[in-house]
Amino acid sequence: MSVQKLVAARKGIASASRGKDVIQDSAMTMFCESHWGELLQPAPLSIALLGSMAVIASSIDDFGLVSDTPAGAPVLQLTYAQFPESFKKCLRQMVTNGYEAFEGAYQNMTKIYDRAAAIRSSIRNSVQCIVECSGREIELLIPSQIDSIVGYATESRRAGAEVEQSFKKMQGLAIELFLAATLKIKGAEAALDMSKLQLEILKVERENEERQMVDSKKRTESFQKSLDRAERAFDDAVKGQPFGWELAGMSMVEALTNLMVTAGDAFVSQSTIRSQMAMQGMSVLTGQLGGTSSTALASTLAADGATATTSPLGVSTQPTAANANDLAVSLVAPVLSLVTQLKLLISGAEGSKPEWDKIRETGGKSGPKYISGQLNSFGKELSPEGNTSKLLRTYIATGVKISAAVAKAGDDAGRNDATLKPQVAPVDQLIGQLTALQSSVNFIAQQPGAISTGVDTPAAPASTTDSMAQLALEFARGQVDMTRLQLETQRTMMNKATDRLVAEQGLLSKSIAAMAQLDLTNTSLPKILPLLKSAAGAFAALRAQFSTIVSLFDSVAVLLNDCLRPRVGRWAGTISAAEMHRDSSTLGGVTVSAYFRDLLYRILVQPQKVVVLSGQVVVAYLEISDSFIMPAQRNLALMLELVQIESDAPKDVLLAKLSRTQSQISAQAKDASDLITEMTRERQREFVKHVETRLDAITSSLKAVMPEVTQPVPAQIKAIGDAHAFDFAVRKEAIARSNPMFDRDALDDAIKKNWA
């Protein structure tokens, strides 16, 4: 009966884990981290600020950014301001550059949308080739498909980078004008402080660029090592596993597939953290001017793994570079499989007795010795300092100890069943610990709990003991529970993220309304300082979000071109050798040819999650752009034109015309901000509905053979999901606190209400 249940359960899991569903789930795990609302959020405020700057530039008294520096004071380093002799000209430069930046953003987002569709088409062609073509044909055709995908990804990256650089320049200009205005107001007493602040911001920017280069190199090296391990481990298992151990072979094939998929997911997931790094300069500015320690704030926002965690395992689940580059992230799955195989040895025979024929060495093969050897091999590949590696290292040591006890029992002549009973509780505990750690790394890699059906997913063996089938069923249930955990946690995160974004958007709407009430035709330098600071924050937020798009498509190009392409020939050669019967290796019913086809398939579909995620972001941006940004742009163009054609008109006449147009822009910005709030709530409802549909599909497919899926997710892993959602919310709130476009006191009040 257990065998029939296992077969039915695996069919149910396959039904609920179709490639399309898992790709969508995978993109959803990244969605909260790269919420399109964070890209749209600052756009209305930015446009309103540009309109205000156009009025201020024609009303305020002029001064030189450098020439008016107090005697003996350090001179500001001007990188972005093109007119150091005139503050007013620099304000007009901001309006002009802002207009051009938003025009360029629309054009480039349209280009990204088109290229993403082309990537999707190329992936379909690649998958068809992998499934249908011979090894020789794969060797000839797949490289050109990789080149096509890489080409489209590179074009998308360049399009995003062009926009990112535009807003980076806007951010830099706003900071320079803010510092210059502060220096003009406060005089010599502020000169040294402003100079130090500027140097600190520049230092943070430089360090972040250097860190990104280092992290990128580590990311590529880590993924390449995982590919090499996935390639070698199949052969190791074929040579080392006892004969006829089909369930163990099936488990190992799936674990090795998981290893490779997790490595790819971790590779891509780091892209979503790049926006966090782009906000570091703002954390310095806000920390200095808002009464918060910039050092502490920067540490909170650091992308180096220093983010605090409330996880019961003590291992951060946030997708920082330090966490994702930890080699243990991809190794937990095969280690869990090996420990599960230990459980099969201890109690997989009829009556839950030991599998003595697999424990005892036969034909040079021994189950516990194979497991011990593989565990030790994985242990040597762990990262020296990674937090996940440190914990996995202790679990591996425990597994090796249990393996030794099982091997010793097999060497005894009597082979008494009772000798292995003391190992049942420790191995069960270890499986629970590794399942919890696998749940943790799923969050780091931003991946679902289950991998999709592939080119040749292992089928359950037609015959095995009821005890072994029951153990395999329990392991399968663990995978299902992790999938449910991911979906439920993402639902929690989306609800919390939506509440936060709506509250923040409300604050920005109030700022836009307050700005509309200002008399900008007769203002002074101290009154526009808050506007310049808000502008720096708004442009920084736009820059940060576009940097994520850049990094996502960059990850696609590097993953395929630098990591996969050099291996295609070798893997295709292995497939050809199997087709010509020179290599008949089989593991868990999967041939070596099918295994390497599946590896190719898994890597080539990785860009799909980037396409899905970027598609959601681009569509939302273009929707807001069509309804608000572009109409507001026309008003900005009118203001720039008025300054040119009415330069000789009386000042009050020009200001009156500019003010009327600026009022229209403010009204448009307020409407856009309200629309973004509505869209955020609507997309939240769609997201939650999708999650619940997926959960219902899983329950419907499996409740007959796995009734536990109707019960709550096990508490041990639920605690990890709850901690991840909490840590995510705290980190996002810290990022918001670092952004000077928000009124700090109002933001703190909103955050308190969000947690109430």
Among 139-153, 273-287, 315-329, which range has the highest average pLDDT? 139-153
Chain centroid to CA 683? 19
- Under the banding of pLDDT at 50, 70 and 90, the label for residue 118 is very high
Q: Given a cut of 70, is residue 506 above it in pLDDT?
A: yes
- pLDDT score, position 304: 47
In three-state secondary structure terms, 729 is helix
Nearest to 612 by CA among 88, 38, 25: 25
User: Any residues with CB less than 8 A from the CB of 49 and at least 6 apart, and which?
Assistant: 515, 531, 534, 535, 538
pLDDT for position 645: 79
* pLDDT tens, residue by residue, 539-598: 999 998 899 899 999 999 999 999 999 999 999 998 998 888 776 778 878 888 889 999
Does residue 310 register a pLDDT over 80?
A: yes
Question: Rounded to two decimals, what is the model's pTM?
Answer: 0.90
590 bridge partner residues: 587
Give the least confident one: 4-8, 158-162, 199-203, 653-657: 4-8
| Cβ–Cβ < 8 Å for 156, 168 | no
pLDDT of 113 higher than 50? yes
- Lookup: tokens for 112: 């990204």
Q: Is the dihedral of CA 595, 600, 603, 608 positive or negative?
A: negative
Burial class (CB in 10 A: 0-12, 13-18, 19+), 162: middle
State yes or no: pLDDT of 283 exceeds 60.
yes
For residue range 679-689, list pLDDT tens digits in order: 999 999 999 99
- Output the pLDDT for position 295: 42
Average pLDDT in the chain: 86
pLDDT of residue 1: 47
* Token pair in block for residue 389: 């590696």
Q: What is the pLDDT of residue 293?
A: 38
pLDDT digit string (tens) for 376-432? 999 999 988 889 999 999 999 999 999 999 999 888 766 788 889 999 999 999 999
- Tens digits of per-residue pLDDT, 56-75? 998 888 998 887 777 766 77
Burial of 347 from C-beta contacts in 10 A (0-12 / 13-18 / 19+)? buried
User: What are the b/e assignments for 47-66, b being 16+ CB within 10 Å?
Assistant: bbbbbbbbbbbbbbeebebe
Query: Do 741 and 534 meet the contact criterion of CB atoms below 8 Å apart?
Result: yes
- Percentage of residues in the chain having pLDDT higher than 70: 91
Separation in Å, CA 274 to CA 148, 162, 208, 321 = 26, 16, 10, 9
Of residues 169 and 11, more confidence is placed in 169
Q: Model confidence at 296, in pLDDT bands (50, 70, 90)?
A: very low
